[in-house]
Structure 1
Amino acid sequence: MVDRSELGAFLRAQRARLQPSDVGLLPAGGRRRTPGLRREEVAELSGVSSTWYTWLEQGRPIVASVQVIDALARALRLDPDRHRHLRTLAGLPVPQVETAAADVAPRLQRLVDNASPSPAAVYDRHFDFVVWNKPYVRVRHDPATLPDDRRNLMWTMFTDAEYRARMVRWTSAAQAVLGQFRTSVGQRPDDPRFTELVAALIDASPEFRTWWPNYLVRDVNPEAVEVDHPAAGRLSLELYQLRPVEFPDLLLVLQAPATPDDRRRVQGLLR
């Protein structure tokens, strides 16, 4: 439910922090009774009527479209955080975050390295690998061996024979990941990276080609997986999927050894 009073209070606070010169307006004659922009100035900058904007600040039950709320965000010079908050207060979808993975990779690398001995990796919205740690390489596989455009969880899951052979229940795991991938593709159907990946996977994997038309949509449902490792034997790993608050479009998947014995054997692979 939209809290109209909170929305109005937020708009008033953002209006009060700006001066006419901040938004390219010439100072009006006379002394201002209140700090910041006037309501009519915000309305003019946003392309809405002064009466309508006044009602919005007063918390009246009026509907504000995405286009109008975004125009208000531009008029009030809101930064991305304030813009998202304004959308939330108005009961509208929050603008999607676009993290430049290369820029944050060093920080994320430190994060996954400190997760040792648990295998851990971070993926972007396309399920492309961003960073991974040494336990991931020793227990699962090394993404660095793949070409840049194929360094992708879906590509690994459906085309890497060794990766597949190590998974005790490959079919259920592959369908679970496919379900999450299908959900992500549905949110960005025109994304060229998704389009290219889906075409390549249809061509390369009979299972993907068969399952893709079935729309195996699935929410996150982490569970334990078992891996038959050639050196350490069968390992049981508990999966955790986490999204960093500051990078909500990235996904951290941590695979914690399920028992002390699993942990000891994973540690043995790191020596």
Structure 2
Amino acid sequence: MSDQRRAELATFLRSRRERLTPEEVGLPRGRRRRTPGLRREEVSQLAAIGTTWYTWLEQGRDIQVSAEVLDAIARTLRLDQSEREHLFGLAGSIDPSPAAGYLPITAAIREHLDQLTPLPACVQSGRYDILAYNEPFSRLMCDLDAIPPEDRNVIWLGFTNDEWKSRMISVEQVQRLMAAKFRASMTEHLGDPSWKALLSRLQAASPEFCEYWDRHDVLRAGSQMKTYRHPQYGLLQLTSTSLWLEPGPARPRMVTFTPDNEETREKLKLLAGSPLVTV
């Protein structure tokens, strides 16, 4: 980075830090707080990076910073998408968030998802980010509208979201398979900052993921029979089928869930017309 860009980055980080209060991030205010907003050490603690390293960034020092560190800082400072783009642009780095890595979902794809009702369906990236979904899919798993876009990821939700996990039968087995699929899929993306950032988040947030990840099991994605437990309609037996939307190693795919029996088919019709139920 040039001196001018480093200075702009330092000023931008300082301004975003100073607008946050300790209460907003779950920290006590304390008695002697002269600094407006958060302290540097508080940001570094929440982002799980070194205080000296973060201080150097705010001082405009000539240091190299990874996309994973920038992602952690952006989450800690609660930057919106425009602010994230500005941060990564100043740092000359690639934003690993799913919103930055994929083209917008077209109106035609969204209409196709809606036309599949009452079948649950979604569009996933190669990294298992949920890029779009219809109402039955959200009703089947959890209220995705209430989840930040950066957290709408099948692997992340399967290890960290209690409501999502409550819908799965044999949670431990499903999580083990998830970790194996993620490792197999990551083979083609070992240097991709978005994959590395998601891996780091999972390892920091879930001991269960770390356990299964360390087994080095691999499993390729494909059509599967799945059973879900819905709080209102009980067990639903479904088969997931993936249709790839475009060529490429990280190509998005449409995942559709079809009923395995008439009982599940009738339940899906009720599910599609019912209000959202959370646990």
Normalised to the residue count of structure 1, the TM-score between the two structures is 0.59
Moved more, 241-250 or 152-161: 241-250
Q: Is the 8 A contact 1:183 1:217 kept in 2?
A: yes
Q: CA deviation at 1:250?
A: 0.7
Unaligned runs of 5+ in 1: 1-98
Q: CA RMSD in A?
A: 2.0
Distance 1:247 1:115, change over 3 A: farther
Q: Is the 8 A contact 1:179 1:218 kept in 2?
A: yes
Q: Is the 8 A contact 2:141 2:163 kept in 1?
A: no
* Residues 74-153 of structure 1 aligned to structure 2 (within 5 Å): 101-153=102-154
Distance 1:102 1:245, change over 3 A: closer
The aligned counterpart of 1:261 is 263
Q: CA deviation at 1:181?
A: 1.4
Distance 1:100 1:188, change over 3 A: closer
Distance in 2 between residues matched to 1:197 and 1:105, nearest whole Å: 25
* Residues 29-40 of structure 1 aligned to structure 2 (within 5 Å): none
Distance 1:202 1:269, change over 3 A: same
Runs of 4+ in 1 over 4 A off after TM superposition: 245-248
| Superimposed CA distance per residue, residues 163-209 of structure 1 (whole angstroms, 9 cap, x where no aligned partner) | 11121122222222322211222211111111111111111111101
Distance in 1 between residues matched to 2:210 and 2:129, nearest whole Å: 20
* Residues 180-259 of structure 1 aligned to structure 2 (within 5 Å): 180-245=181-246, 249-259=251-261
2:165 partner SS: helix
Structure ID, larger Rg? 1
Distance in 1 between residues matched to 2:118 and 2:244, nearest whole Å: 20
Distance in 2 between residues matched to 1:107 and 1:247, nearest whole Å: 20
Distance 1:100 1:214, change over 3 A: closer
Distance in 1 between residues matched to 2:152 and 2:127, nearest whole Å: 11
Q: Is the 8 A contact 1:120 1:255 kept in 2?
A: yes
Normalised to the residue count of structure 2, the TM-score between the two structures is 0.57
Aligned residues: 173
